[in-house]
Amino acid sequence: EAVLDIISSKTDAFLKVSTNQLKGDLSIALDKIREALLKSFIELEAIVNFPEDDIDQSGINRLNEAVLEAQHKIKSLLESSDHGRILKEGIKIVLCGKPNVGKSSLLNCLLRTPRAIVSDIAGTTRDTIEETAQIGGIPFQLIDTAGMLNPRDLVEQEAVKRSHLSIQQADLILFVVDGSSSLDEEDKLLAKTLGGQNVLLIVNKDDLSNKVTEEDLKKILDVERIVSVSALKKKGLDQLEKSIVECIWHSTSIDTHEIIVSNARHIQALTNCLGQVESAQEKIGEGLSLEFVSEEIKRAINFLDSITGKNIDTDLLDQIFSSFCIGK
């Protein structure tokens, strides 16, 4: 699976992550979790099958701590899966704004190629334009939307419909306003449609006299990040790209040396494993029979084994007899 990820890598960042996985970084992390769970499982099996070797409260506490530690490690791996999905599948970014604020010029700047037609005529873009690019090692699908709010014909109606659909499906919206003009009703109406979404506000035409303040912007849209650029002069683009990465990655740089889980099957197996570990921990807390706890941990190990290809049943008895003085 790591080989397939290497072959299908869209960016250098994901190639490095896949290469690290091929080297065994993920397997090593999974083996450590498995080893801790297996140790607890063996101890439980010994107690369940040989009741004369009972466990006291300190042993229960030790078991609970071991299960909690495994739980934290699994959660940590799963938290990386969002980053893994981003590097593997990419992110959908939509440029949104009223006509003639410079969305198409900005698209061309991010693509570093004149993909969209640019003119001073408002409404030049009458349909969504979709292109792919790399920004900071992350693959992006960039979508430039038509800016008209009041379509004049059937073509523009369809364009507006597609724009709204793209905005709803976006991972990040670049809401572009014209900094050389005061905000108007069109800006405000568009801003209202973006509530609850991940938005980066861009003030374009920074090379001209600025007529929009940060206070004005925050009145129409409550956002944390505002970036000023000039698509015409290619000013502020480096900061824009850093801000885009930060909005998605929650950091300005990507650490490709960390263990990142990106495979959908692995993510599902780890999710299932976490569910069993949490269930085991709950049963310990409720004081239920250790036989039930043992079964939950065994299932958790089986989910890990579905990733690594190991089998808990092949060496279970050997491990029990080597770890405990059974029958003394």
Domain extent for 180: 90-119+127-249
- Looking at the fold, whether 292 and 245 belong to one and the same domain comes out as no
Asked if residue 108 is part of any domain, the answer here is yes
The values of phi and psi at residue 290, to 5°, are -65, -15
pLDDT in tens, 233-281: 999 999 999 999 888 877 655 555 677 787 888 899 999 999 999 999 9
* pLDDT at residue 139, rounded to an integer: 81
* pLDDT at residue 132, rounded to an integer: 80
* pLDDT at residue 104, rounded to an integer: 85
Of 196, 229, 249, the domain-final residue: 249
What 210-216 contacts at long range (C-beta under 8 Å, 24+ apart), as own/partner pairs, is 210/179, 210/180, 211/179, 211/180, 211/181, 211/182, 212/177, 212/178, 212/179, 212/181, 212/182, 212/183, 216/182, 216/183
**DSSP letters for 93-124:** EEEE-STTSSHHHHHHHHHTS--S---SSTT-
- Looking at the fold, whether 64 and 76 belong to one and the same domain comes out as yes
pLDDT in tens, 57-87: 677 788 888 889 999 999 999 988 877 777 7
Q: Which two tokens stand for residue 322?
A: 């080597």
- Stretches in the chain below the pLDDT threshold 50: 3, 7, 116-126, 326-328
- Looking at the fold, whether 109 and 229 belong to one and the same domain comes out as yes
- Looking at the fold, whether 59 and 96 belong to one and the same domain comes out as no
Non-local (6+) Cβ contacts of 199 within 8 A are 172, 173, 175, 221, 223
Q: Rounded to whole angstroms, what are the CA distances from 99 to 61, 71, 92, 93, 244?
A: 65, 51, 21, 18, 22
- Kind and range of the H or E element at 201? strand 199-204
* CATH code of 113's domain: 3.40.50.300
Asked if residue 170 is part of any domain, the answer here is yes
* CATH code of 51's domain: 1.20.120.430
* pLDDT at residue 311, rounded to an integer: 75
* pLDDT at residue 230, rounded to an integer: 95
